[in-house]
């Protein structure tokens, strides 16, 4: 029979709290930047010039068909040979942005392509520029349509940040691992980490559901 001793792990609550804070910060920065990158890439693939569309298609396929941890290791262990040295946290954010950007591009593209052709033609016939048509007529309803999928993707990226502890980024799972290697309370440590991730994920989903219509695609 396993006897659980949460006291030994809870005694390290400042570490767990710090880890949660870092995970939340990593997610916030990479969600904001990744969303922007995703919209830009979706525009390039649907409305952009052909060479750009092809380049973006290559990027999307490359990222969506390789594991996140490999992308992360490439940035952290590979880039220094080119003279680019990133801190664990910076490499984590960059990897998360690049990763989310690719998935977000495809999600937003689905929204854009489902826009009825007549709306675009109507906008152009009212003498709006192509940029105005895209930002005012096409994009907001597209984002609104794909927002649930986008929310899921951002939550997935947040959960994926658990592997950033592998390159010593001090996020939640890094501290959970550290605590269990100190007091050998692995089961308790991971149970607590699971609960904290669950809390983070549920809150993040609620936050995005609330913030999306208010700040991102209006009304």
Calpha distance 90→87 (Å, rounded): 5
We find the least distance from the C-beta atom of residue 177 to other proteins, in angstroms, to be 6
We find the least distance from the C-beta atom of residue 194 to other proteins, in angstroms, to be 19
3 state SS for 125-167: HCCCCHHHHHHHHHHHHHHHHHHHHHHHHHHHHHHHHHHHHHH
For other proteins, the closer CB: 46 or 173: 173
For other proteins, the closer CB: 110 or 168: 168
We find the least distance from the C-beta atom of residue 168 to other proteins, in angstroms, to be 4
Chain residues that interact with other proteins, rule: CB under 8 A: 76-78, 80-81, 85, 88, 165-168, 174, 177-178, 181-182
Cβ atoms of residues 149 and 104 within 8 Å: no
- Report DSSP state, residue 48: S
For other proteins, the closer CB: 64 or 85: 85
We find the least distance from the C-beta atom of residue 160 to other proteins, in angstroms, to be 16
For other proteins, the closer CB: 8 or 57: 8
- Report DSSP state, residue 217: S
Cβ atoms of residues 143 and 217 within 8 Å: yes
Calpha distance 34→74 (Å, rounded): 19
């Amino acid at each position: 029979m396993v006897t659980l001793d949460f006291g030994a792990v809870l005694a390290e609550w400042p570490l767990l709290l710090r880890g949660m804070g870092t995970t939340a910060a990593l997610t916030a920065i990479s969600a904001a930047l990744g969303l922007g990158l995703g919209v830009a890439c979706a525009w390039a693939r649907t409305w952009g010039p052909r060479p750009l569309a092809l380049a973006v298609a290559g990027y999307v396929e490359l990222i969506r068909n390789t594991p996140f941890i490999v992308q992360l290791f490439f940035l952290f262990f590979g880039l220094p040979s080119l003279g680019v040295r990133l801190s664990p946290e910076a490499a984590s954010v960059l990897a998360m942005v690049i990763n989310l950007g690719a998935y977000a591009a495809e999600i937003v593209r689905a929204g854009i392509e489902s826009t009825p052709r007549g709306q675009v033609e109507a906008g152009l016939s009212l003498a709006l520029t192509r940029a105005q048509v895209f930002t005012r007529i096409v994009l907001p309803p597209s984002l609104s349509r794909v927002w649930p999928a986008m929310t899921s993707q951002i939550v997935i990226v947040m959960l994926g940040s658990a592997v950033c502890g592998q390159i010593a980024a001090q996020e939640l799972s890094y501290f959970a691992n550290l605590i269990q290697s100190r007091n050998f309370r692995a089961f308790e440590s991971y149970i607590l980490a699971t609960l904290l991730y669950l809390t983070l994920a549920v809150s993040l989903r609620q936050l995005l559901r609330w913030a999306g219509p208010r700040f991102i695609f209006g009304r």
